[in-house]
Amino acid sequence: MTAVRGTTVDVTTADGVADAYVAHPDGDGPFPAVLFYMDAFGLRPHLEKMADRLAAEGYLVLVPNVFYRAGRAPVVELPDFIDPAARPGLFEQIMPMLRSLTPEGLMSDARAYLGWLADSPLAAGGPVGITGYCMGAGLALRTAGTYPDRVAAAAGFHGANLASEADDSPHLLAGEVTAELYFAHADQDSAMPVEQIDRLEKALTDAGVTHRCEVYAGAHHGYTQADTAAYDAEAAERHWTELLALFERTLTP
């Protein structure tokens, strides 16, 4: 098992300072870089464990606190295990932060995250990979479309509203994407209904994007998150298989 180092860093953005977790294999590198976008529950020990697992495969992984404008992580106090009874109270705190985020601000932040990775002496040169979960899947797609020269691959898992009818829906950036994309939806997920799955597929296909979209049968929104009741071990392992294969194909070893 590859030894991994993890630490907290600060990333200066146009709007302040975003705290972030960084993980990488033991050693000086350089390592291919990955930007890891959190789900709505935020930067927390479970996401750090996921970053560590990815780092153990040979990557430098940056997990920013997307909610940094509201405070350093943990922005919301979370239980060790998030069950359905806890969700309403948590989302009362989370939703105002979500609504305060704008595509412009998020992509300004993305520029800072990508810049931090580009400047890190631990990072190998060249475009990065991105993985995102829940809200992070939309950020992965949006970042790939906003900074196509900086992104070689992007993946999103149990994404929410990736192809809505909103004027700023992430799928509208499909024509700008040059990265290889992979999306894994859950078939028990009201946040990404069939019509949006079809709309995303059509947008990527029409734009000529190299991509694959799959639906994991029986999985629920949040299936990768082992600290929640939505966790599905089989679907989570399938996600790891596909994510690592994507990065092996597209990122410099």
**Which residues are annotated as catalytic?**
134, 189, 221
Closest CA to 177 of 142, 212, 202: 142
Q: Which residues are 89's β-sheet partners?
A: none
Q: Contact 252/126 with Cβ under 8 angstroms?
A: yes
Q: Which two tokens stand for residue 122?
A: 């631990």
Q: Which residue has the tokens 């009874």?
A: 85
Is the four-CA dihedral 236, 239, 241, 247 of positive or negative sign? negative
Q: Which two tokens stand for residue 201?
A: 């597929």
Q: What backbone torsions phi and psi does residue 196 show, to the nearest 5 degrees?
A: -75, -35
Closest CA to 106 of 170, 201, 151, 34: 170
Closest CA to 43 of 12, 16, 22, 14: 22
* Helix spans in 120-231 (H): 135-146, 194-206
